[in-house]
A and B are shown apart, each in its own frame.
Chain A
Amino acid sequence: MGHFIIIYLFSVMDEKIISRLTKVITAIKKELEFIGIKLIDWRVERESSICLLNFYGEFDRIEEVEKLIDEKLKKELANVADYKKIVSHKLERPICSLIDVWQEISEINIFRKYFDFLTHLSKYKQLEKIELVDIKNRNVEWCMKYRNESIKSNIQLIHNLIKKWQKYGFFDLNEEAFRILCFIYRSGPIRREIIMEIGSFILKLHPEKLDEYLNEMEREGFLESRQEKFYLAEKTWNFLKDFLSIIIKIEKSGIRAASLKNLIPLDDVERTQAKYIVHRNGNISNFSANKLVESLILAGIDSNIANKAIYAVVEYLDQRDIIPESELTSLVKMVLDVLDPTGESGLKYDFFINTRNKIIIKYRDLTLPFSYDTFQFIIREKLSSKSSIKVTSSIINMIVAHVLKIVRSSFSLAFKDITKREPIVIEDNYLNTVIKEVLKTSIPLYEQALEGKINELITDILTKSISFFNKALTYKEYHEVELLNNFLEGARNLVWAAFVNLGYWPHPNIVSSASLISQIIKKSDLKDNEKKLFKRIEEFSRRVTQLIVKLRPMFFGIIDDKILKQVMELSKFGVRLSKQLLDRINLQ
């Protein structure tokens, strides 16, 4: 019995192929169970055009599994794509994602700091007389501020631990050796080559140095080696058990303390440090505490717990500039488990984060996994099937984000049994309704443009735009709110008309529109004089954006003359541009 993998390499990897693969894999899963083979995991890698299948079962069944998959693939993928099996291989150990060990790195790093602390304390003969100074003022590397309070309240346990184990020489070990022991404690008996391969990465030690340490600790009786495996000596195992149980206690109460002292506004937390979240595909985004709270709430977690959790998470992330997304999610889950010992919050979050494995999308005759790419494909297809108007990736990203959020949260909130293993299937009609509503609300002029008479629509909104600008220009002093509303309405209509006239769906946000128009002009094959007009519209939307930025922090009623003058100038500019654009339409 053991793990084995099969990897297929495809000539292309698009939605059609992914859909057929999903079908094949869903079908074989049940058939395989009959012959005692479990499909542990499968993954499609678009960039490498590979599909990796990870199985567990009797090795003498591998040929049977291969035959079964080959048959199904041949049937489903004939005349669709070329593919070949590049690997069919028994694994000496289960596939590891290094993120599992990354978590260990963070933990072992924390253990190491405790160990340093204990080693330091062990040098004093009269432990009780030592007074702890507030760590947050002294040692910034020791990142969790509330950990200190927790240490203080558990100091007696620490003293006892030192007294009990001092004579065995553990506190004379250096911290690299100590980290190796912690690693073996966590992994269990381990073969030399495995500790070399994974351990050198986790422990950040050169493999040869690591080898030296292992030999030395074996000589000194901290480790034993039997049947080509390293074991912890009994005393080492007992020491680490004591040591880690105290640390877990301190850490847990530290998390609770941190979560209760939410004195820092979240915006300040975000400003303190540039933190990047690194996604699995290598893309990066900025860490946002606010976004994290939002996702916890969307996952259906009680807002009280969500708010508390965020402070504990931030405490842990302090001083880290780059965080893998998977590490962040496992950290959030750990914090949630501490704050909600029933485990419900952790499970809900897990469901929300791992929706990919829990939801399958039915779209036309395709069966697709729940992913960003899937939604992007569906939405692009829906938009292109209904109109020849093109869509910018900025709008696509916005719509996909909306749809993903709606689908994910509606299922995570409504899904009763979050431990259920069978995936939920989302049918066409539900998805169509959601996408239709999101398109209607996110894209200006969406429904009107679908009616087909584009030039009439543009004429209509430009006429409206001129009318709004004119209203703004004839403002009365006591109607400042009206003035601004009319001006912004006029500006929006003008910019939207420009988008549609260029053949693109408009962006709802005027602030984002300027740079989008600029990108579209660059790509277009407009004549020079036409380019000039659109460049002036781009300039107009930039100036409107600047004005909005100035207006934002103001209260209505205190608009100064300078701004008022700008609004007037821009309104006149807007009228001119609207008329010029109207002339262009009339000429077309």
Chain B
Amino acid sequence: MVNLVLVRDNEIFHGKIQAVPIDKLYLHEEIIDSNLNTLIRAIKKKNVFQDPVIVDENSGVILDGMHRTEALKRLGYEYIIAYLIDYSNPAIKIRKWCRVFKLPDYLIKKEKINETLNEIAKMLNLDMFNCDSKDAERYLEKRKILGYILRGLNEKAYCIKSYETKFDIHEAYLVLRKFEGLIEKKLFLRINYYPDEKFGPKINLEDYLCLIPPQISKEEVVNCARNKKLFPPKSTRHIIPLRPFFVNIPLFLLRKSTEMTIKQINKIIDATLIQRQRVRVRGKIIIDRLYEDDYIDIFA
């Protein structure tokens, strides 16, 4: 198999590219139908599988590539090209997306927002209280609250609390999804997702409303996925030290075939990839979206 290795500060990170049976993999986030349909059309047109999905080798949980996996499954393919990594490696980071709503001029500094947030909390049978943003972050870390909302630098944080005594991360995300949906609906705002480092407790923008969800741990991702409890889209954000790109494996290899075993298919994939030029470039670049990974191996 093609093993991609990165050595940094004497730490070794490695992952391997190979075909794996789709039915042995677990999604951890829900699928967005419109994105899925667009992707299905694109895959059909290209006839190659472009970028491997990122999979934890030990659990079979897909860390990145839910839609690609579902698209291939719906198109009747048996295998998918995966980049298998050891999720327990501390070099792989899991972060979160903050839900950010840009406020139009007429809403900035208006009391209407507070009223609406309270109204939504009531509708969803949630408690809401104000506190300092640093305290809110501490409560969130200790999982005393489901999330909190920030508005402007000097404003207090609005903490969202459940009346349930036991904190369930999966439930928390489902409740927050309802909450953010109601913000969109009631205040006519559009949701945007920003990496937490950018819109975390250090927020200093006056004209944004920012909902900070709790941080999901790696163990929670694996447990929920294995128990088929899917998080809403944009719940996790994985940053891995090295990611492969543009492997472009022909789709016919991924169909169920009586002629070829998975071992032979993987030998063909190896033989294909070793004939390509491989360029390692620094990550944090925009290709079709921003890739925050440290390095990217481009096969050309």
Interface residues of chain A, those whose CB is within 8 Å of chain B, are 5, 7, 9, 41, 43, 45, 47-48, 50, 52, 54, 86-87, 89, 91-92, 95-99, 101-102, 192-193, 196-197, 200-201, 207-208, 211, 276, 278-284, 321-327
Closest chain A residue to B300, Cβ basis: A52
Whether A323 contacts B278 by the Cβ 8 Å rule is no
Given contacts A197-B6, A282-B48, are A43 and B272 in contact (CB under 8 A)? no
Whether A322 contacts B268 by the Cβ 8 Å rule is yes
For this complex, 28 residue pairs linking A to B, each with C-beta atoms less than 8 Å apart, are A5-B281, A7-B281, A9-B287, A43-B277, A45-B248, A45-B300, A47-B46, A48-B246, A52-B300, A87-B298, A97-B274, A98-B276, A193-B5, A193-B6, A196-B7, A200-B14, A207-B12, A211-B12, A280-B272, A281-B272, A282-B48, A282-B268, A282-B269, A322-B264, A322-B268, A322-B271, A326-B275, A327-B271
Given contacts A9-B287, A326-B275, are A276 and B248 in contact (CB under 8 A)? no
Question: With an 8 A cutoff between CB atoms, is B253 at the interface?
Answer: yes
Docked CA distance A193–B281 (Å): 15
Whether A98 contacts B2 by the Cβ 8 Å rule is yes
Closest chain B residue to A41, Cβ basis: B277
Q: Which residues of A contact B280 (CB under 8 A)?
A: 91-92
Closest chain A residue to B46, Cβ basis: A47
Whether B3 contacts A201 by the Cβ 8 Å rule is yes
Whether B3 contacts A282 by the Cβ 8 Å rule is no
Docked CA distance A403–B47 (Å): 26
Whether B248 contacts A98 by the Cβ 8 Å rule is no
Whether B277 contacts A95 by the Cβ 8 Å rule is yes
Closest chain A residue to B2, Cβ basis: A201
The minimal Cβ–Cβ distance linking A108 to chain B, given in whole angstroms, is: 14
Docked CA distance A97–B277 (Å): 4
Whether B279 contacts A95 by the Cβ 8 Å rule is yes
Given contacts A50-B300, A192-B7, are A284 and B278 in contact (CB under 8 A)? no
Whether A207 contacts B285 by the Cβ 8 Å rule is no
Docked CA distance A92–B281 (Å): 9
The minimal Cβ–Cβ distance linking A212 to chain B, given in whole angstroms, is: 11
The residues in B between 2 and 33 inclusive whose CB is less than 8 angstroms from any CB of A are: 2-8, 12, 14
Question: With an 8 A cutoff between CB atoms, is B250 at the interface?
Answer: yes
15 additional A-B pairs beyond A48-B300, A99-B274, A279-B272, beta carbons within 8 Å, are A9-B287, A47-B47, A91-B280, A96-B277, A98-B2, A98-B276, A101-B274, A196-B7, A197-B7, A200-B14, A208-B12, A281-B248, A281-B272, A282-B268, A324-B272
- Chain B CB within 10 Å, residue with most, of A86, A208, A279: A86
Whether B5 contacts A200 by the Cβ 8 Å rule is yes
The minimal Cβ–Cβ distance linking B117 to chain A, given in whole angstroms, is: 40
Q: Mark B268-296, 1 if CB is under 8 A from A, else 0.
A: 11011111111111100111000000000
Q: Which residues of B contact A208 (CB under 8 A)?
A: 12
Contact of A45 among B47, B246, B274, B282 (CB under 8 A): B246
Q: Which residues of A contact B248 (CB under 8 A)?
A: 45, 47-48, 281-282
Interface residues of chain B, those whose CB is within 8 Å of chain A, are 2-8, 12, 14, 46-48, 50, 246, 248-250, 253, 264, 267-269, 271-282, 285-287, 298, 300
Contact of B276 among A97, A101, A200, A284 (CB under 8 A): A97
Docked CA distance A278–B273 (Å): 10
Q: Which residues of A contact B7 (CB under 8 A)?
A: 192-193, 196-197, 207
Q: Which residues of A contact B287 (CB under 8 A)?
A: 9, 86
Docked CA distance A326–B274 (Å): 9
Whether B298 contacts A7 by the Cβ 8 Å rule is yes
Docked CA distance A47–B271 (Å): 18
Whether B278 contacts A97 by the Cβ 8 Å rule is yes
Closest chain B residue to A101, Cβ basis: B274
Docked CA distance A327–B239 (Å): 35
- Is chain A's binding surface mostly helix, strand, loop or mixed? mixed
The minimal Cβ–Cβ distance linking A51 to chain B, given in whole angstroms, is: 9
Whether A321 contacts B264 by the Cβ 8 Å rule is yes
- Chain A CB within 10 Å, residue with most, of B3, B47, B278: B3
Closest chain B residue to A211, Cβ basis: B12
Whether B274 contacts A282 by the Cβ 8 Å rule is no
Given contacts A47-B50, A276-B268, A278-B268, are A52 and B275 in contact (CB under 8 A)? no
Whether A280 contacts B275 by the Cβ 8 Å rule is yes
Whether B276 contacts A280 by the Cβ 8 Å rule is yes
Q: Which residues of A contact B46 (CB under 8 A)?
A: 47
Docked CA distance A89–B282 (Å): 8
Whether B275 contacts A97 by the Cβ 8 Å rule is yes
Contact of B5 among A9, A41, A102, A196 (CB under 8 A): A196
The minimal Cβ–Cβ distance linking B277 to chain A, given in whole angstroms, is: 5
Docked CA distance A207–B250 (Å): 29
Closest chain A residue to B272, Cβ basis: A282
Whether A91 contacts B300 by the Cβ 8 Å rule is no
Whether A86 contacts B285 by the Cβ 8 Å rule is yes
Given contacts A47-B50, A283-B250, are A197 and B5 in contact (CB under 8 A)? yes
Docked CA distance A425–B160 (Å): 71
Docked CA distance A87–B279 (Å): 10
Closest chain B residue to A5, Cβ basis: B279
Q: Which residues of B contact A50 (CB under 8 A)?
A: 246, 300
Docked CA distance A327–B274 (Å): 10
Q: Which residues of A contact B246 (CB under 8 A)?
A: 45, 47-48, 50
Q: Which residues of A contact B3 (CB under 8 A)?
A: 200-201, 207
Q: Which residues of A contact B282 (CB under 8 A)?
A: 89
Q: Which residues of B contact A283 (CB under 8 A)?
A: 250
Whether A95 contacts B278 by the Cβ 8 Å rule is yes
Given contacts A196-B5, A197-B5, are A278 and B14 in contact (CB under 8 A)? no
The minimal Cβ–Cβ distance linking B4 to chain A, given in whole angstroms, is: 8
Closest chain B residue to A96, Cβ basis: B278
Whether B14 contacts A207 by the Cβ 8 Å rule is yes
Contact of A52 among B12, B272, B277 (CB under 8 A): B277
The minimal Cβ–Cβ distance linking A85 to chain B, given in whole angstroms, is: 10
Q: Which residues of A contact B276 (CB under 8 A)?
A: 97-98, 280
The minimal Cβ–Cβ distance linking A365 to chain B, given in whole angstroms, is: 27
Whether B279 contacts A52 by the Cβ 8 Å rule is yes
Contact of A322 among B48, B267, B277, B279 (CB under 8 A): B267
Docked CA distance A102–B278 (Å): 13
